[in-house]
Chains A and B, each alone.
Chain A
Amino acid sequence: MSSPTSEQVTFFTSEPDSVSEYLKKIYHHRGLIWVFAVRDLKVKYSQTILGVSWSLIQPLTALLIFTFLFGYVLKWTAGEVPYALYVLSGLLGWNFFSYIIYTGTSSIQESSSIIRKIYFPKSILPLSKTVVALIELLLSFAILIPLMIYFGYGFSWRMLFLPLIIVFNALCGLAPVFWVAALGYKKRDLFHLLPFVVYFGIWLTPVFFITKMLPPEVSDFLVLNPMASVVDFWRWILFGFGTFQATWIISFFIVLLLCGGGMFYFHRKEGEFSDHT
């Protein structure tokens, strides 16, 4: 499946592969993305009693706490959207993003024993983590969907945008992963920076608060945060919350460019990973 046949010649040179060559190699090894993802899931839920339900318990707990704190105690409201759904949709997008960042950046280090012994394009590793994150995301739909039905939301044409928002959300996570992994494999300072991004970034993103609550001179700056676009985009798709913003699409292309650039830089550096991990 993902391997060269006995007639195929593999070349290793000092030059990094051309972009098309590299993409071809990723395509060849695409099976590995799935293999690593399955391995991660198996490992994650082996030796647990509750198994997969843990993936539901975590967002469910967060949902209860934040709905209680902000929705009930502080009485924040998100217009016609129930606050619980507002928070949940924000958390789904944010968790998907942060999961990719955390596991993606550690994936190179985590697989160092394989990297030092077997060749494959290293982009496979963060990509495989993205697949795991995606599965986690789909699992948490098991909370979202019943809740949406409960509050009377149904299918809508806007849901055709779901693939786009998932890709957009994933790119937001992958872009920093590629840049940090490629820039930081020798000196690991950058790796310490990312938890800050995730930890404080949630407060710079309308996950809990509602953009309208901010004074306009502050909320204007939110367009600079692609994740702000992502969570609002999610809510527009799911609940028709707010209006479609052209800035989302601009933001999408900027992130796409950043992620592509990051992957390109990552690919130029990955030949040295095995010497440094």
Chain B
Amino acid sequence: MEKENAIEIKGLSKCYTRVGASELGTHELWALRDVSFSVKRGDSVGIFGHNGSGKSTLLKVLAGVTKPTHGTVAIRGRVASILDIGAGFHPELSGRENIYLNSNVLGFSKLETSKVEQEIIEFSGIGDFINEPVKNYSSGMFLRLAFSILAHLDFDVYLFDEVFAVGDAKFEAKVSKTLRALIESDKTVVLVSHQMSALDKQDTFLHLKEGALQSYDENRKVLIDYLTASVISADDGLDVITTDTTLTHFNPTRQSVELDLLEVKLYQSNNISAQFRTDKEFVLEIMYDKLENDCSLDCIVSVNDLQENIVFFTTPLISGAPSLEMDSGTYKLKCIIPASIFNSRVFGMSITFLKNTKDVLSSYNEENPFKYQDFLKTGGVDVCHVFRNVLYFKPVFHAESVFLDLSKLNINCNLSPAFTWVKEKI
């Protein structure tokens, strides 16, 4: 049975006019240009695009908060718009009173709210604070309560704008679980996010560019293409390499005096200009000058996807002991990445150097576990050099016995390792 449309948008345009702060008269800004699409009930849409591409405006128009300049929007059912969590909260009222106020503003009766009141309070984890005025809440508590309210009321259409910057990690997990449940249910979900991994679970993807609909497709390829394109067109001159490459210029994310990175080389020993293949091993060579005598340096290489999820990291520390050589001088590291491990995707590669690894690693224990992410983000105490996304590379899918391009199959994984499989007929 054909599902009916939950959202129908026809020829939508939105123009903001600002009566100039300067004397230059009115200033026109077209935030949306002739956007048309429809969403079936129960489907979910992920909207992405660069800053200023009209994502938030589109959501605002959908929520009815701002009027379109041209075109029509039709939405079936009750709409939860989470444009910014906590709309309709009043600081002087208690959390409990705000639950009722908020849900009432969103169109729910006292009776409907009282049925889920307890669940809302439990989900938010606010506890006894629920009877305190919300002005005494921390911003995290505020957001948790607001999200809990929306999560427990029964809407038909959910509009989310960047909801993932909510509270602590524990609550973030709750949020994404709730979101996934909504997406999988018969609810209609529209999600705008910069965090690409948040968009991953959607059924459909919508790419906005300068207010216009660039693509609208069920294929995740839309998302991947956007990510790839935005990396390639990045201003810092990064390029996706697809053939043997030697790099000699680097922009360290974090840097200190112990080291000078000379050369990074990624190759497959192909014929010149032949493309990287997934079924061949990669060789990574890192050449550096160690400038100081009385320290040790160890290298970590991490490979991440374009959503900045780490796919794997590798370091000689795993295969052997920390390097104990203290001498300065030029060193060359060579790492062989096995064949048939990657899918045909764009990957970023980051290189991190650890100083005096032995001391660093012994400072971690069960209470203070080693978090590789922290190293990349902030740099641990003795992370002396981080070269974030030193290069991007993309192999083309090849396999001896398979004549399929898995990237075209839209398989939702970064790795497709060629493990050994044995098939027997019994």
Chain A interface (Cβ < 8 Å from any Cβ of B)? 1-14, 31-32, 35, 39, 42-43, 46-47, 113-120, 186-187, 271-272, 274-275
Contact = CB atoms under 8 A, between A and B. Distances in A.
A209 B419 CA distance: 98
Nearest to B88: A114
Contact of B106 (A118, A271, A274): A118
B73 interface: yes
Given A1-B109, A6-B156, A12-B64, A31 B104 contact: yes
B77 A5 contact: yes
Contacts of A117: 63, 65, 81, 83-84, 87-88
Given A14-B68, A271-B66, 14 more contacts: A2-B107, A3-B108, A8-B76, A10-B74, A11-B72, A12-B62, A39-B93, A42-B97, A47-B92, A116-B65, A116-B84, A119-B65, A186-B19, A275-B66
A39 B77 contact: no
How many chain B residues sit at the interface, stated as a range, is 35 or more
Contacts of A275: 16, 66
B317 interface: no
A191 to B, nearest CB: 16
28 contacts: A1-B107, A4-B107, A6-B77, A9-B75, A9-B76, A10-B76, A11-B74, A12-B61, A12-B72, A12-B74, A12-B75, A13-B68, A13-B71, A13-B73, A14-B68, A14-B69, A32-B105, A39-B90, A46-B92, A46-B133, A114-B105, A117-B65, A117-B83, A118-B81, A119-B65, A187-B19, A272-B67, A275-B66
A8 B77 contact: yes
Nearest to A40: B90
Max chain A CB contacts within 10 Å: which of B70, B92, B93, B104? B104
A31 B104 CA distance: 8
Contacts of B78: 3-6
Interface of B: 16, 19, 60-79, 81, 83-84, 87-88, 90, 92-93, 97, 101, 104-109, 133, 156
B67 A3 contact: no
A10 to B, nearest CB: 5
Nearest to A273: B66
Contacts, number: 112
Contacts of A272: 67
B107 A11 contact: no
Contacts of A32: 104-105
Contact of B104 (A9, A35, A115, A116): A35
A113 B87 contact: yes
A35 B93 CA distance: 13
Nearest to A272: B67
A93 to B, nearest CB: 30
B61 A116 contact: no
Contacts of A114: 87-88, 105
Given A39-B101, A118-B105, A271 B67 contact: yes
Contacts of A115: 65
Given A12-B72, A32-B105, A39-B101, A118 B66 contact: no
B107 A116 contact: no
Nearest to A11: B74
Nearest to B84: A117
Nearest to B8: A9
A42 B98 CA distance: 11
Nearest to B104: A35
A109 to B, nearest CB: 15
A274 B93 CA distance: 24
Contact of A6 (B61, B76, B93): B76
B16 to A, nearest CB: 6
B226 to A, nearest CB: 27
B90 A43 contact: yes
A118 B83 CA distance: 9
Contact of B72 (A8, A13, A271): A13
Contacts of A31: 104, 109
B93 A46 contact: yes
B400 to A, nearest CB: 54
B203 to A, nearest CB: 20
B106 to A, nearest CB: 7
Contacts of A116: 60, 65, 83-84, 87
Contacts of B60: 116, 274
Nearest to B80: A118
Contact of B93 (A9, A11, A43): A43
B65 A7 contact: no
A118 B67 contact: no
A251 B63 CA distance: 41
Contacts of B81: 117-119
Contacts of B109: 1, 31
Contacts of A42: 92-93, 97
B135 to A, nearest CB: 11
A273 to B, nearest CB: 9
The 9 closest A-B CB pairs, nearest first, are: A3-B107, A119-B64, A271-B67, A117-B87, A6-B77, A12-B73, A43-B92, A35-B104, A1-B109
B368 to A, nearest CB: 40
Contacts of A3: 78, 106-108
A6 B157 CA distance: 9
B98 to A, nearest CB: 9
B93 A12 contact: no
Contact of B74 (A6, A9, A46, A118): A9
